[in-house]
Structure 1
Amino acid sequence: MPLTLLTRADCSACATARTDLARICAELGTGFDEMDVDRAADDGDPSVRAEFGDRLPVLLLDGEEHSYWEIDEPRLRTDLARRDS
């Protein structure tokens, strides 16, 4: 999955980003994965939380940071269109 939303529990900004991303992905006919950085750390992989945990939510596109704190919708749509062409 090219899109991954990094989140944590009880994060209102993460909930907003999830809603926005779900709407955008539904319109574009694509999906996204979600990773709770605290759960990943508890499961033995603290690297994602160490790198991104201070600015959640973070959207990764093909494993690279695309936006944080909110979904940059115009940029995301442009980047996905370029990627698919």
Structure 2
Amino acid sequence: MAPAPADGRTPTTPRVRVLVRQGCHLCEVALATVREVCAETGDEVEVVDIDPDPALREQYTDQVPVTLVDGRQHDFWRVDAQRLRVALAGRPR
């Protein structure tokens, strides 16, 4: 069994997580970019709707979509595809 990554993720946690809200146009655009990049890199994407979780909603409500890479905030509002590629190439799986 592989050891847990140093960033606290479990071996089955996707490297990329996108926090979204229903009806958010920017979320749809960001998700399309993230999914395109992750299809190229072979990384999985987890999409999390913040609305059902009061803590996430309070923390991120004005920033969605928020993109997290390896458990750390990478982008919010918009996703730069090239910057995401670099982040995914530069961190261990």
Does residue 28 in structure 1 map to residue 41 in structure 2?
yes
TM-score norm. by structure 2 comes to 0.79
CA RMSD of aligned residues (A): 1.4
1:15 is matched with 28
Alpha-carbon deviation of 1:74? 1.8
Deviation at 1:76, TM superposition (A): 1.2
* Sequence identity percentage: 35
1:54 matches 2:67: no
Q: Aligned AA for 2:59?
A: E
The alignment's TM-score, normalised by the length of structure 1, stands at: 0.85
**Once the two structures are superposed, what CA deviation does each residue of 1:32-52 show, in whole Å capped at 9, x if it has no partner?**
10000002x2xxxx2111111
Point out 4+ residue stretches in structure 1 off by more than 2 angstroms: none
Q: Gaps (5+ residues) in structure 2?
A: 1-13
- Residues 84 and 62 of structure 1, relative CA distance in 2, 3 Å threshold: closer
Q: Give, in angstroms, the shift of residue 58 of structure 1.
A: 0.4
Q: How many residues align?
A: 80
* Structure 1 residues 20-68: Cα deviation after superposition (integer angstroms, max 9, x where no partner): 11111111111110000002x2xxxx21111111111000112211000
8 Å CA contact 2:37–2:84 kept in 1: the answer is no
- Structure-2 separation of matches of 1:27 and 1:71: 15
